[in-house]
Chain A
């Protein structure tokens, strides 16, 4: 996982990028870098924490730029492997979150065409591919370059002499924040909460051209409109307050999370989602998730089996994608805090291909998972910045209880005596 950010507007880009990056440090922190354009590109990067980079930098001019905070996958953490990566001319800079599967063959091909690649990363092929296809139209060059790429990506491209950014995603999250004569691009919402709460979620295959006061999104070459969402999280939700670190803060937030999540379900009056799905009745069911959500799923099995008395199977979404089987008519619950977990998204797509009804439990309104699910149950945990999940796990359990209680075949007043975790 890495974090990427972009800014185009009227402010100086440098401090905005550094601030946005600092909010994404949970996505990785072995290296970081920014590129800012003021006619020509200035790139600063190193294998250091964002704070150290910030201290080492003298103020940069330019009101457009991109930034990256890295958790190394291809190539060791080092200055040369840190993002942004540039083309041979130093006019095009790219930040990337994801993994390019065919980067070896692309590297060889680009090298044979005379491109000089200096890092060990998969990312570096992207700016060189864009350079190769660039004939004055950056968007077209990016679209053509991405056709050569196999794998996952969220990228932001900056070119020296044009006041615009080009962003694209496939299987990695990317959002656009809308301000007053300024636009923000980031891997995740907390990065931009200091500046705006108006957000657009890009979808897989989207390519967006973004300037200070406009943005145009294309999918498969055709213009599409992407809905604007209002983020209800406050800046304070994504700040530490007096706590030393986010994990401690989030543990202390747990009573509030239970309260908020339950209050929302109760206030909704009718079930937020139906375990039986529309008109299908209740049968056996599978729950898929990764990481901490998987552990919520394991408890969910006990909750649903104990209360509803139907068999429940729990699998890691990542394993299910390679071997698991779902039969037609299966109901499935997929749990993903961010709604962007790559393996969970893949599992949802796979389940839907088999004709399964998929119910998603997620914490992020407008996330990819929420868009492709048949039914959605939102948890109200607020932004979880700590990598170790705490409050989101608890909120997921509340959601599972809530779903199961509607179909409970046991006397609720005896709930305390049941062994339901």
Chain B
């Protein structure tokens, strides 16, 4: 297997506001876009000929991935103008597909261990995995190593083996992509037409993010597996516990306490007297002022956090400016996304470039859109659309 086709055109609607400015594949987990994990896993498995099917906010992908040389791969881009489905996305790559190839979702976090065995699997094949909550996925019915049927999001799952969206195919697949929009439907049609589809089970890392708070659980999993690498400058009296990575040109000032797993990007100014607690990712060029505590959270690039803030189980997207005494405590809350209710433990989720005044308190589960402005001393809750102004 020499070629991989990665489907990275999707928006990830349920992940708004974080996917208003970027495709789902470009969401950052532990300071790296999801797509980068996929590409790096392929490079590790010796697959360097990569076709990226892009669509929604494709410039974000171009700007970050370029021609791939930075990641040791060679990238060809194909555009899917309308995001109609995975089979439709794959069909866009018909002209550049060569021989036997791998197909992967660009917006699932895939590590090399998940695909190591699968890359030599004879097409057509599906990579499957056992999960705790199969009804969110396509449940795969397997007999003697062959796929019998894939049932998307069943009411009741017959097994806990689900489709990872990772396949091997030959050009034959394109005979079936015309009539169906999604790959599982295409496979069901192929099976009905007498083709056999192999199945291989993996216990490697394959993680999907569907809702905004999933970013936190993925971040946690990835951070726990990450190796520490300390760059930058740590002033006297900084305590570093556990696995902590710090990027170049970052300064962590005296009496700060960093308890890993934590990753901090480059060019940051942290402290003095700041606590960064486990499972926290902090992007590049972030400023965190004294007496702030951050725990189990994801902070994007260029964020400025004022002094004496409490940030727990929260996602703060790129470019937010939080003034002092911002409080985002975590507790269990029921959140509605697209008519379905979810009971989760979460703090605040803020979109890009929000400005939050002094002493603002965020109710657990608040989702603030991009470019919102919140005046000092306000209490925010529920879902705020993009560009909201809270007076």
Is B63 in contact with A253, judged by CB distance below 8 angstroms? yes
Considering only residues 229-254 of chain A, those with a C-beta below 8 Å from chain B are 234-236, 239, 241-243, 249, 252-253
Q: Per-position contact with A for B242-260: 1 when CB-CB < 8 Å, else 0? A: 0000000100000000000
Q: Which of A235, A253, A256, A267 is the one whose CB lies under 8 Å from B249?
A: A267
How far apart are the CA atoms of A411 and B77 in the complex, in Å? 48
Best-surrounded residue of B62, B65, B249, B267 (most CB of chain A within 10 A): B62
Q: Are B54 and A242 in contact, CB atoms less than 8 angstroms apart?
A: yes
- Majority DSSP secondary structure for residues of A touching B: helix
How far is it, in angstroms, between the C-alpha of A236 and the C-alpha of B65 when the chains are bound? 10
Q: A253-B63, A263-B267 are in contact. Are A242 and B77 (CB under 8 A)?
A: yes
Q: Does B340 count as interface, using CB distance less than 8 angstroms?
A: no
Contacting residue for B62 out of A234, A249, A263, CB 8 A: A249
Task: Let me know if B67 and A243 touch, CB within 8 A.
Answer: no
Chain B residue numbers with a CB within 8 Å of A259 are 285
Q: Flag if B69 contacts A242 (CB, 8 Å).
A: no
Known: A242-B52, A267-B249. A236 touches B70 (CB 8 A): yes
Residues of A within 8 A of B183 (CB): none
- B47-87 contacts to A, CB under 8 A, are 52, 54, 58-59, 61-63, 65-67, 69-70, 75, 77
Asked if B61 and A242 sit within 8 Å, CB to CB, the answer is yes
A44 to B285, CA, bound (A): 53
B39 to chain A, nearest CB (A): 14
A271 to B59, CA, bound (A): 35
Give the docked Cα–Cα distance between A155 and B65 (Å): 38
Docked complex Cα distance between A313 and B113 (Å): 64
Q: Which residues of A contact B66 (CB under 8 A)?
A: 236, 239, 241
- Most chain B CB within 10 A, of A239, A241, A242, is at A242
Whether B62 lies near A252 (C-beta < 8 A) is yes
Chain A contacts of B285 at CB under 8 A? 259
Complex Cα distance A236/B66, Å?
A: 7
Q: Please give, as numbers and ranges, the residues of chain A lying within 8 Å of B75 by CB-CB distance.
A: 241-242
**What is the interface size of chain A, counting residues whose CB is below 8 A from a CB of the partner?**
14
Known A-B contacts A263-B267, A267-B249; the reply to A241 vs B69 at CB < 8 A is: no
Pick the contact of A256: B58, B63, B69 (CB < 8 A). Answer: B63
Q: B65 and A241: CB pair below 8 A?
A: yes
A259 to B54, CA, bound (A): 26
Complex-state Cα separation, A259 to B284, whole angstroms: 11
Minimum C-beta distance from A238 to chain B (A) = 10
For residue A252, which residues in chain B have a CB less than 8 angstroms away from its CB?
59, 62-63
Question: Which residues of A37-91 are within 8 A (CB) of B?
Answer: none
Q: Are B58 and A242 in contact (CB under 8 A)?
A: yes
Say yes or no: A235 contacts B63, CB within 8 Å.
no
Known: A263-B267, A267-B249. A242 touches B62 (CB 8 A): yes
Q: B69 to A234, Cβ gap below 8 A?
A: yes
Contact across chains for B69 and A243 when beta carbons are under 8 A apart = no
- For residue B149, give the distance in angstroms from its CB to the closest CB of chain A: 37
Chain A min CB distance to B269 (Å): 12
The answer to whether B67 and A239 have CB atoms under 8 Å apart is yes
- Please give me the residue from chain B that is nearest to A249 by CB atom: B62
Q: How far is the CA of A239 from the CA of B70 in the complex (A)?
A: 13
B202 to chain A, nearest CB (A): 30
Known contacts: A249-B62, A252-B59, A267-B249. The answer to whether A241 contacts B267 by CB under 8 A is no
For B69, the chain A residues whose CB sits under 8 A away are 234-236
Expressed in whole angstroms, the Cα–Cα distance for A4 and B52 within the complex equals 35
Could you tell me the distance between the alpha carbons of A249 and B63 in the complex, rounded to whole angstroms? 8
State which of A241, A253, A263 has its C-beta within 8 Å of the C-beta of B67.
A241
B67 / chain A contacts, CB cutoff of 8 Å = 235-236, 239, 241
Give A242 to B285 CA distance when docked, in angstroms. 27
CB <8 Å contact, A243 and B62: yes
Chain B residues 241 to 295 lying within 8 A of chain A, measured CB to CB, are: 249, 267, 285
Tell me which residues from 77 to 114 in chain B have a Cβ below 8 Å from any Cβ of chain A.
Answer: 77
Instruction: Encode A305-349 as 1/0 by CB contact (under 8 A) with B.
Output: 000000000000000000000000000000000000000000000
Distance between A56 CB and nearest chain B CB, rounded to angstroms: 25
Q: Name which of A235, A241, A263 has the most chain B CB atoms within 10 A of its CB.
A: A241
Nearest A residue (CB) for B77: A242
How would residues 36 to 49 of chain B score, 1 for a CB under 8 Å from any chain A CB and 0 otherwise?
00000000000000
Expressed in whole angstroms, the Cα–Cα distance for A205 and B67 within the complex equals 39
A-B contact pairs, 23 of them (CB 8 A): A234-B69, A235-B67, A235-B69, A236-B66, A236-B69, A236-B70, A241-B62, A241-B63, A241-B66, A241-B75, A241-B77, A242-B58, A242-B61, A242-B65, A242-B75, A242-B77, A243-B59, A243-B62, A249-B62, A252-B63, A253-B63, A259-B285, A263-B267
Contacts A236-B70, A241-B77, A263-B249 aside, 8 further interface pairs with beta carbons under 8 A come to A235-B67, A236-B69, A241-B63, A241-B67, A252-B59, A253-B63, A256-B63, A263-B267
The 10 closest A-B pairs by CB, nearest first: A242-B77, A242-B62, A236-B66, A241-B66, A241-B62, A239-B67, A236-B69, A236-B67, A252-B59, A252-B63
